Amino acid sequence: MHERTRHLEPQVPGPLVVAAAVLDSLDAPRSLLCAARAYPVEHAGQYELPGGKVEPGEAPLSALARELDEELSMGVRIGPEVEPPAPLAVPAPRDGAASGDTAPAWPVLHGFRMRVWMTEPAGTGGRPRPGGSHEQVRWVPLDSVLDLPWLPADRPILEAVLSRARTSGTPRDPLAPALPPPAVDGGDHQPGI
């Protein structure tokens, strides 16, 4: 595509990835859970927000619970979504309503769109136990987060996370439930929000 006409092309929403900015506390955040990928080789050692691809027909927050359970055996309480600014936002697909994929998302690698939520550890599953997806998972003080080698698309997302975390903490919806790992029977475990 010619550079001068690129901005005229319609943006085609790509498949959805969901990720968690896991803070030590939503109310008084001091550190972020940072995860270095184990694969593929070109991204091994680069840091990301834990999460992954939403499966067909799966609700975004159900997918996030499943991914955090698969990758970290971890349950989280969901806080506010970290929304992309208008100039970066990739719109939701036209047919997203059926699965709850209705919000604009961040553009990330390989044509994926990514939605991100501020979260904090919750319940007995609140301590990460990394599996094979990550070569390192660690709590990093907010001031040092940007010093890590992140996947290239993540920097503006992290700036938004850090800005939000630093200003006031993130007052929690007192009605928001904890989001535990999904039920083992494979049922659609939709958190009640």
Ligand X SMILES: Nc1nc2c([nH]c(=O)n2[C@H]2C[C@H](O)[C@@H](COP(=O)(O)OP(=O)(O)OP(=O)(O)O)O2)c(=O)[nH]1
The tokens describing 153, both together, are 């698309």
By CB under 6 A, residue 64 contacts ligand X: no
Interface with ligand X includes 153 (CB under 6 A)?
Answer: yes
Does residue 56 bind ligand X (CB under 6 A)?
A: no
Q: Which of 16, 19, 23, 72 contacts ligand X by CB under 6 A?
A: 19
Q: Is 12 strand, coil or helix?
A: coil
The region of 92-100, 102-110, 159-167, 170-178 touching ligand X under the rule CB under 6 A is: 102-110
> Residues 107-146: x/- map of binding to ligand X (CB under 6 A)?
-xxx-x-x------------------x-------------
Q: Which segment (46-54, 117-125, 134-142, 172-180) binds ligand X by CB under 6 A?
A: 46-54
- 38, amino acid identity: A
Q: Is the separation of the CB atoms in 126 and 75 below 8 Å?
A: yes
> Which of 60, 37, 43 is closest to 115 using CA atoms?
60
Residues 173, 118: contact at Cβ < 8 Å?
no
